[in-house]
Structure 1
């Protein structure tokens, strides 16, 4: 290896070493020279329809690949991506946001350049990203550029949060020492204080041995901070009933006989609610108790009887242990616990059957309802599918779907930006193509959400991706209707001809397929295992019609809770 390398080459080679193979973004004059060096570093340029879509796609790519990169241009480009990057920060997704900026000389002079506010302040946009980035670095000094790149990339991976890297145009080709590339990045966690961890292990062990019917509750940060293997080992060895949350849907193997369902506080199915809340110990891993993830803050569990493991602290009852990360704690528990001493009673049943909906059982209607569709679609899913659901009816409906082994679920329950899922589908499908092309990618998105980012289907076609896109046509923003304004005009949308979209975006004859599904018989005919549609060997779009005011059970309850909560907050302000 040469002793010197350009800053941009160093950066891109580091991305490649982290396992990134494709970079999302939109070209702009402040990043064009940098983009010339992607291919030589072994990176593929995606080229999205806009920066917001690119940010969503980078998020989806990272959830499959483990980390991703996004490149935008200064000002107009980076600001267009901000909502997506904020979502990745909120949801703990590691995205490297690289921004091409004007030259250091122009910035020093305060030049009146395009894409600026015309006031000579070149720091204002980076400052906007400061609060949604784990680390913000500016590669304006060649002497420390390599160290700053490594610092940012390590922070991105370890924290599972986005980072911001500013790359001025006159720094792109500046030479720096290449020696750092000879050693892989140190991605190890900071070790826990041994004495404190010993105390944590002793207290957890005592509580677990004393419990009669403990349960495991797995949440989003278990996957985000890469402890799912340890979680599965713990469930298998302890044989404790295990439950997930909406944000961790799919993280636990749902074919495991110890899987009990999805716990969403008072929004849970009655059997799940009873099993979790009757437990005398909750072993919580990676909790993120947001409103939609906790059933409107309706967890009825005792803090005194809860052990919480997090990425940067551990909580046992009312005692908090800062800087004690869950990976080390779980690994020590797996090696030190006598699992024969762990007991549980039948009051904490696992793997209950899906509830039968009385309305569905008695109804002879042919229309497709949420209560019928979501449990039904579980029979069609295959092992290792990637299932992406949109903020809205799909996010709540998928709770009722039992997954085969190895299914990965992607959703945005906390940030909740409508339109997210279409971009995320592109990124996820691309990562799947690179890593395991035999996996199917299935998107469920509402007609309202699709209108925000539907043009990203064009990028899917461009890169030969083959997702199954199910557009749920229920005539508008149904999730908003469930919260407020059932018949309000602001929840209405313009009707689109969805089955013309693939052809409009350039899909070639024979390389795509469209379907319209209006009845339960249509669903059964199309979503049939083994047929051509299910092979997913081309990009396919399904327009599936549901009643305008029909919604999943969980959304109906949560919608009313949200309306009441919003009303209370308004009363407090007044």
Structure 2
């Protein structure tokens, strides 16, 4: 019998059972806040939620158990967080659900790691009910103030919100999930237990922020990049982890093949480009990497860094010798060509436009 991810009670050690499908024909106006959160998680491709139950999250946890999503119980909250992080890296987005205080604070390390390496995890925490807080009682798991846990996660998430107003609840959920999707970083949802089953009387829609490149800035950046690549005698591409996070693996391969430029990868981005591709030369790790690859990259007169996060690990504990004046550096947050900065240019638009320009790069023998 094949082992598959099953319900939360069996942790996947039984044969798959039929799961209820998401009812997309049902109007959102009839959904509770908890039901809407479940639907939106499904809309983003999440099929499994990792977690551990606790009293402040039991209502939502029970709702998850009876939903189309598979709830995977873990032995510890930090393990659930790491599992959701791994799931996000493979699936595109992950989710973890725990209780307040002892549960939420235990996941801080997992979520901080996801933030550092750009992994979009939706961190869902139960919380004491809004109505319970009126007389400021000393409830268990509370640390200092009601907002203490929320404030902790504000430091390690791209966005953090407490769902306390039914009128804005759906908009807040949409904002958080869209932020995780756009920025590839974790977000934090704090759901008080008396809000889970509330059906809002009114719904305020979320307006997605515009996401497009400035066409003039894009055209100028591509023009300068093509000129530098064609003037170079030894160009090379260094592929970074953002190519995986944003699903741009095929686009960077198309660029390399169109221009005939060799490709190395960083440690964090290992296998983002097939290691048997004829243009792939291996991992670049500064002085810590294979000498032939290190020399090949550092002798290049045009280093094209795409989606790379320039951490000490990816730079061989800062032993990398990359001249910024001979580099094209493009990420989801920045685009620099030598000392020229280009604003409002999306990473995916830059890579695709550069591939479409088909720069005529000089050929060079690859390292053994």
The verdict on a shared fold, with TM-score over 0.5 as the criterion, is yes
- Indicate the residue corresponding to 1:295 in structure 2: 316
Q: 1:73 aligns with which of 82, 99, 103?
A: 99
Distance, in Å, in 2 between the alignment partners of 1:256 and 1:241 is 10
Q: 1:106 aligns with which of 97, 108, 132?
A: 132
The superposition leaves residues 178-225 of structure 1 with CA deviations (integer Å, 9 ceiling, x where unpaired) of 9899xxx99897111222222211111111111122001011222123
Checking the alignment, whether the CA contact within 8 Å between 1:5 and 1:178 is kept in structure 2 is no
Checking the alignment, whether the CA contact within 8 Å between 2:99 and 2:126 is kept in structure 1 is yes
Instruction: Please say if 1:45 is aligned against 2:65.
Output: no
1:49-128, aligned counterparts within 5 Å?
A: 49-117=75-143, 119=144, 121-128=145-152
Q: 1:25 aligns with which of 48, 51, 56?
A: 51
The superposition leaves residues 527-565 of structure 1 with CA deviations (integer Å, 9 ceiling, x where unpaired) of xxxxxxxxxxxxxxxxxxxxxxxxxxxxxxxxxxxxxxx
Q: 1:222 aligns with which of 243, 247, 253?
A: 243
**Structure with max Cα Rg:** 1
Instruction: Please say if 1:338 is aligned against 2:358.
Output: yes
- Higher helix proportion (structure 1 or 2): 1
Report the TM-score when normalising by structure 2.
0.89
- Indicate the residue corresponding to 2:19 in structure 1: none
Shift of 1:334: 2.1
1:390-539, aligned counterparts within 5 Å?
A: none
Distance, in Å, in 2 between the alignment partners of 1:302 and 1:256 is 27
> Closer, same or farther in 2 for the Cα pair 1:269/1:177, shift >3 Å?
farther
The superposition leaves residues 288-313 of structure 1 with CA deviations (integer Å, 9 ceiling, x where unpaired) of 12222211111112111100110022
> Closer, same or farther in 2 for the Cα pair 1:247/1:18, shift >3 Å?
same
- Indicate the residue corresponding to 2:200 in structure 1: 176
Instruction: Please say if 1:140 is aligned against 2:159.
Output: no
User: Over aligned residue pairs, what C-alpha RMSD do you find?
Assistant: 1.9
Instruction: Please say if 1:129 is aligned against 2:153.
Output: yes
Shift of 1:107: 2.7
Checking the alignment, whether the CA contact within 8 Å between 2:150 and 2:161 is kept in structure 1 is no
Distance, in Å, in 1 between the alignment partners of 2:117 and 2:269 is 11
Distance, in Å, in 2 between the alignment partners of 1:70 and 1:179 is 26
Distance, in Å, in 2 between the alignment partners of 1:333 and 1:21 is 35
Secondary structure of 1:143's counterpart equals helix
Secondary structure of 1:136's counterpart equals strand
Checking the alignment, whether the CA contact within 8 Å between 2:170 and 2:203 is kept in structure 1 is no
> Closer, same or farther in 2 for the Cα pair 1:178/1:60, shift >3 Å?
farther
Distance, in Å, in 2 between the alignment partners of 1:147 and 1:190 is 18
Checking the alignment, whether the CA contact within 8 Å between 1:22 and 1:45 is kept in structure 2 is yes
Consecutive unaligned residues of structure 2, counting only runs of 5 or more, are 1-25
Checking the alignment, whether the CA contact within 8 Å between 2:274 and 2:280 is kept in structure 1 is yes
Instruction: Please say if 1:150 is aligned against 2:174.
Output: yes
Distance, in Å, in 2 between the alignment partners of 1:142 and 1:265 is 52
Q: 1:237 aligns with which of 247, 250, 258?
A: 258
- Indicate the residue corresponding to 1:314 in structure 2: 335
Distance, in Å, in 1 between the alignment partners of 2:42 and 2:341 is 38
Checking the alignment, whether the CA contact within 8 Å between 1:160 and 1:224 is kept in structure 2 is yes
Report the TM-score when normalising by structure 1.
0.57
- Indicate the residue corresponding to 1:10 in structure 2: 36
Shift of 1:64: 0.9
Distance, in Å, in 2 between the alignment partners of 1:180 and 1:257 is 52
Distance, in Å, in 1 between the alignment partners of 2:46 and 2:330 is 29
Distance, in Å, in 2 between the alignment partners of 1:189 and 1:312 is 15
